[in-house]
Amino acid sequence: MNITVKEELRIYIDPLTPDEHDALERSILAEGCRDALVLWGEVLVDGHNRYGICQKHGIPFNTVQNTHFKSMDDVHLWMIDQHLGRRSVSDFQRGVLALRKKDILAARVSVPAAEASSDQASAQPDQVVVVPVIRPIEPLNSREAIAKAARISSTTVSQIEKIQKTAAPELVAAVKAGDISINAAAAVASLPVDEQVAAVAGGKKDLQQAARQVREAKAQARAVPVGNMLDQPAAQDDAAAQSTDALIAHLRQTIASLTDENTMLKARLAELAA
């Protein structure tokens, strides 16, 4: 049997953690590969970890063909739905997967209409064009729909979108690892990239402190009295901007100080170990 492993499918879903992979390997060694690998022709769609473990230890496995796939988008949508249905997937992963599904469905909505228009344009006057029946596609065209698909709140979807757009890769990795909550990561993502990286390097304590200070700055900006804003809007805007600038400067100083302290502690531990 020829099985083709495509890298784009292997990494399409976040990989197992080392502990999860070890647990799966122990299970397969003890009980065999109970679940069949899913193939599309010769392409492996589901079961990359099981396939690797079975190949490593020479353990037999079963396969099943999914004959409903017509394109790689079909494969991606199937993979997304499979993982959205699993309890072990984190809220952040659910949100990311649902947003991917939204993008795929949005791109597919215009395809049937475009194909029908092309057929009509190329037909001869005496020809009858039969437009194929396309299964209706229900796009995820609102945060509420995305949230329902991912089984998370619409607020969490909004925070995940912000993280995807503005978070440094190091901050995204920290969210995936569970070192910081989605809510806190969305707050930290509003900082400049270098400060996000510094906060991540400082560990959970620095991340939590950075998130708390960003929230406090936003709360102070929202606390400007409405009457004063109407009387002196320009002055209030200047005051809010100055307050934000001052907070950012304070955050930078705090992160730098904590980073230096962390470096010193690591050096001290290394000396003690020696």
Per residue in 146-173, pLDDT (tens digit) is: 999 999 999 999 999 999 999 999 999 9
- In angstroms, how far is CA 68 from the centroid of its own chain? 27
So what's the pLDDT on residue 163? 96
What is the tens place of the pLDDT at every residue in 88-129?
899 999 999 999 999 999 988 765 544 544 444 444 444 433
Cα 200 versus chain centre, distance:
18
State the residue for tokens 């099985």.
3
